Amino acid sequence: MENKDLITTPWADYEILDSGNDRKLERWGHHVLIRPETQAIWGPRHPELWRGANAEFRFANAKGVWENKGVPESWDLAWRDARFSARLGSFKHLGIFPEQAANWEWIENCVKKSNKPKVLNLFGYTGIASIVAARAGAEVTHLDASKQSNAWAKENAELSGVPSGDVRYILDDALKFVLREARRGAGYDGIILDPPAFGRGPANEVWRIEEHLPKLLAALEKIFSKKPGAFFLLNGYAAGYSATSFLQAVIDVFSDAKGEFGELQIAEANSDRVIPSGIYVRFVK
């Protein structure tokens, strides 16, 4: 496996304008936002830009709140042909993880090299990876344990012009679903998963990454296609693990995997700085 950091560069609807002092200044379409960023232990380079922010997420008394100066409840953004809505969420998130753009491009390329592959997107959240895969020609199963996230994902797919039959939405616990799929002999040509450190399924099932990720990887091996061109992508965020840890967990199950692993980073606009924003492991058969 090649150790390779993936760097997302600015695109029309998103860029990091500056960062520092545990914060980042981002442009999302026409709106400039300030959000916490624990990786930004350096100082900002353009203090004058921060005064024009339209909203800022702050922590106070162990709670987070947006100080909003006119940002709407939701607004539309795009990455290539994928369209999706951004919203000021209750815990600093907007429904989009921009560092994934490098993986969206990889998913798109993998799908285009296959003939209508079946793709499984676990912990699918607001569905941008599902949209990218579907628009590239995949038959997608999108799973999340949150009704709200699945509803948002459907809205984003409609916004992107994805035909309703191209994505199947599942509300379920990821491990339970994959174990059922394995028992019935299902198979997928592409697997994408983005597990949290901790979470709960729709029936209050507990997910702990240290306990359940190895079990999930073992179950996924049983439904992962043996065809050349089949692809696998594991992402991680705030779990506290390194990319090497994720790599070794994957190799423990997929011993013949040959691909890439490393950090997901976002490049600051007009700067030589990057913000580490996650980790990944990916490979193609």
Any idea what the CATH number is for the domain that residue 20 is in? 2.60.40.1180
Residue 5 within a domain: no
Whether residues 67 and 127 fall in one domain: no
Given pLDDT bands bounded at 50, 70 and 90, which one contains residue 239? low
Closest among 244, 185, 256, 252 to 218, alpha carbons compared: 252
44 and 125 together in one domain: no
Separation of alpha carbons 218 and 197, rounded Å: 18
* Cβ within 8 Å of residue 255, ≥6 positions away: none
The β-bridge partners of 265 are 7, 276
Q: Which of 20, 42, 72 is the last residue of a domain?
A: 72
> Distance from first CA to last CA of the chain, Å, rounded?
13
Domain assignment present for 2:
no
Domain boundary among 43, 72, 101: 72
In this structure, are 128 and 47 located in the same domain?
no
What is the DSSP secondary-structure string of the chain? -EE--EEEPPBTTEEEEEEETTEEEEEETTEEEEEE-TT--S--S-HHHHTT-SEEEEEETTEEEEEESS--SEEEEEETTEEEEEE--TTS--S--GGGHHHHHHHHHHHHTSSS-EEEEET-TT-HHHHHHHHHT-EEEEEES-HHHHHHHHHHHHHTT--GGGEEEEES-HHHHHHHHHHTT--BSEEEE---SEEE-TT--EEEHHHHHHHHHHHHHHHB--STT-EEEEEE-TT---HHHHHHHHHHH-TT--EEEEEEEEEBTTSS-EEEEEEEEEEE-
pLDDT on residue 59? 86
Do 193 and 261 sit in the same domain of this protein? Answer: yes
The rounded distance, in Å, linking the Cα atoms of 144 and 170 is 7
**Strands 23-28, 139-144: parallel, antiparallel or unpaired by DSSP?**
unpaired
Please say which residue of 18, 39, 72 terminates a domain. Answer: 72
Q: Is residue 168 part of a domain?
A: yes
In a domain, 187, yes or no: yes
101/66 same-domain check? no
Same-domain check for residues 33 and 149 = no
In 3D space, the residue among 175, 192, 278, 279 whose CA is nearest the CA of residue 232 turns out to be: 192
158 shares its domain with 249: yes
Q: 238 pLDDT band (50/70/90 cuts)?
A: low
Q: Is residue 1 part of a domain?
A: no
Residue 221 domain boundaries: 77-86+92-284
- Whether 172 is in a domain gets the answer yes
Of all residues in the chain, what percent carry a pLDDT higher than 70? 99
Statement to judge: residues 257 and 192 lie in one domain: yes
Judge whether 64 lies within some domain: yes
Residues 182 and 258 in one domain: yes
Q: Give me the chain's average pLDDT, please.
A: 96
Q: What is the pLDDT at residue 220?
A: 98
Res. 90 pLDDT band, cuts 50 70 90: confident
Q: Are residues 120 and 55 both part of a single domain?
A: no
pLDDT at 253 over 90: yes
Q: Are residues 82 and 47 in the same domain?
A: no
Query: In this predicted model, what pLDDT tens digit does every residue of 152-203 receive, in sequence order?
Result: 999 999 999 999 899 999 999 999 999 999 999 999 999 999 999 889 999 9
In a domain, 3, yes or no: no
| Whether residue 120 is found in the same domain as residue 58 | no
Check residue 62 and give its pLDDT. Answer: 77
Residue recorded with tokens 């990454």: 209
Q: Any idea what the CATH number is for the domain that residue 187 is in?
A: 3.40.50.150
Domain count, the chain: 2
CA distances from 65 to 69, 92, 94, 98 (A): 13, 8, 13, 21
Q: Chain centroid to CA 210: how far?
A: 19
